[in-house]
Amino acid sequence: MTEKKDLKKRVRARMAKTGESYAAARAQLLAKREPKPAEYAELAGMSDEAVRKKTGKTWAEWVQALDAMDARSMGHRDIAKAVGERWPALGGWWAQTVTVGYERIRGLRAKGQRRTTKLFDAHKSRTFPVPVAQLYAAFGARLRRRWLGEVELTIRTSKKNRSMRISWPDGTSVNAWFTDKGPQKSSVAIQHTKLASVADVKRAKEAWAARFDRLRVLLTGK
């Protein structure tokens, strides 16, 4: 597809979505400057070196490949599925990573934002000098109030020493993944989802950093 035809297709897609005239929709699209390849890594949130090491392609190469399959007009699930099918060696996690990076580069979502709901996710992780079973147990009802406070949460599902899915009292959700890194070393990665804004993401990250500080004191005494 030529650049001119691609623009026309994007204009008509915007018209259908917004109700704008052709001229207005075209003007809005042209006002959004396309990022340069040198900016791709920053927009995607991962360096060219890292993505090339794990996927065999730089961000510029991924953008070219996904543009060629008209990914800009596709939904997130369809892009991730297509990437997984065309490059099966990537695996599910890297297919998702490539998809999210592409969507950020092409302005389809902001960093930390879910494309379908337009809500945001906050991520925070910490490594602790304790066995994974001890770290996992600290999230149980008996111990968590000592570092988490009076949060009236509900654990929806859990896999012992591996993961938890948690409903937060404000309507947001928390996913926790636990990793065994050795006899006396483990980590937990938190994904706090359904946040309404970038400001909420910042507050959530700060809150989890403070909680992890208290958790470390509980687990290690210092």
Residues 12 and 101 in one domain: yes
Residue 114 lies in a domain: no
Q: What average pLDDT does range 54-80 have in this prediction?
A: 94
Q: Is the model's pLDDT at 218 over the cut of 90? A: yes
Q: Is the model's pLDDT at 7 over the cut of 80? A: no
Indicate the residue among 82, 105, 128 that finishes a domain.
Answer: 105
Q: Is the model's pLDDT at 216 over the cut of 90? A: yes
Torsion of CA 119, 206, 47, 10, to 10 degrees: 20
- Distance between CA atoms of 167 and 10, rounded to whole angstroms? 38
Q: What average pLDDT does range 11-23 have in this prediction?
A: 78
pLDDT computed for residue 32 by the predictor: 63
pLDDT computed for residue 211 by the predictor: 97
Count Cβ atoms below 10 Å from residue 222 Cβ, excluding itself.
Answer: 5
pLDDT computed for residue 69 by the predictor: 95
Q: Is the model's pLDDT at 137 over the cut of 90? A: yes
Of 111-115, 121-125, 192-196, the least confident: 111-115
How do 163-167 and 173-180 pair as beta strands?
antiparallel
Q: What average pLDDT does range 16-22 have in this prediction?
A: 77
Residues 203 and 138 in one domain: yes
pLDDT computed for residue 1 by the predictor: 47
Mean pLDDT of the chain: 89
- Distance between CA atoms of 206 and 215, rounded to whole angstroms? 14
Let me know: does 220 contact 129? Beta carbons within 8 Å. yes
- Distance between CA atoms of 4 and 76, rounded to whole angstroms? 24
| DSSP annotation string for 61-115 | HHHHHHHHTTGGGS-HHHHHHHHHHHSGGGHHHHHHHHHHHHHHHTTSS-TTB-T
**What is the domain range of residue 37?**
3-105
Q: How many domains does the chain have?
A: 2
pLDDT computed for residue 8 by the predictor: 78
What are 19's two structure tokens? 């109700």
Residues 16 and 98 in one domain: yes
Q: Is the model's pLDDT at 109 over the cut of 80? A: yes
What are phi and psi for residue 130, nearest 5 degrees? -145, 160
- Distance between CA atoms of 121 and 110, rounded to whole angstroms? 11
Indicate the residue among 105, 132, 166 that finishes a domain.
Answer: 105
Residue 113 lies in a domain: no
Q: What average pLDDT does range 78-83 have in this prediction?
A: 94
Q: Is the model's pLDDT at 178 over the cut of 80? A: yes
